[in-house]
Amino acid sequence: MAEAARVLVTGFEPFPGAPVNPTEWLVGALRIEPPAIEGIAAFRAEVLPVDYAKVGPRLSEIGREFRPDIAIHFGLAAECSGFRLERVARNSFAGARADNAGALPEPSAICEGPATLASTLPLHAIRERLEAESMPVEWSDDAGAYLCNMVFTLSRAHACEGFAPEMSGFVHVPPTGEGRPLGNAQLLAGALAIIEETVRSRRRP
């Protein structure tokens, strides 16, 4: 059985078109009450900048300070209808749009490495768990062309110095609130289920 894991959860700050980002709220909630899950040696939750120039150095800084074994990245996708489990990171800036600083990268590879990288989270187990708890869940093979896909790619490619999680992946969530697919309480419960299933999978002989 694997040793207890150092677990990182990330979200993002608000960005153009999304003045409220539920993943920023999620990070705050997890900081206030970290998950009490067997198999977690240390836990950290961080809000990442929506800035192409800053996000890589921030991941490197977190990696040097915390050395996560597991990194679960959350982001907002306005059009999704529940927890969207991203299966594939695409190593490309094609179709990117401007970040919070107004920067727009040229169409190119995000980093050295393959064109696509698969999530290493236990996605099928996560889906079964969310469905068992009556949470809306869906699959995706396209994490978009914004910072979400960039972070997913950098995390899976181990492209940031000091940041090399053994398991990592990305989950999109919709806006929360009345009339939305998720409320904040459900968002937190689903995130905890995702964390628990990932830690459980790593510890499985």
User: Is residue 73 flagged as an active site residue?
Assistant: no
Residue from 24, 73, 160, 172 carrying the catalytic annotation:
172
Show the tokens assigned to 8.
């990182």
Q: Which of 46, 73, 148, 160 is catalytic?
A: 148
**Nearest Cα to Cα of residue 81 among 24, 138, 8, 157:** 138
**Angle subtended by helix axes 123-132 and 184-203, to nearest 10:** 140
Phi-psi category of 113—alpha, beta or left, where left has phi over 0 and alpha has psi -120 to 50?
A: left
The verdict on whether 160 is a catalytic residue reads no
106 is known as an active-site residue: no
- List 24, 73, 80, 86, catalytic entry: 86
Torsion angle (degrees, nearest 10) of CA 135, 118, 74, 84: -30
39 in Cβ contact with 97 (< 8 Å): no
* Contact indicator for 109, 96 with CB cutoff of 8 Å: no
Q: Please give the positions annotated as active site.
A: 86, 148, 172
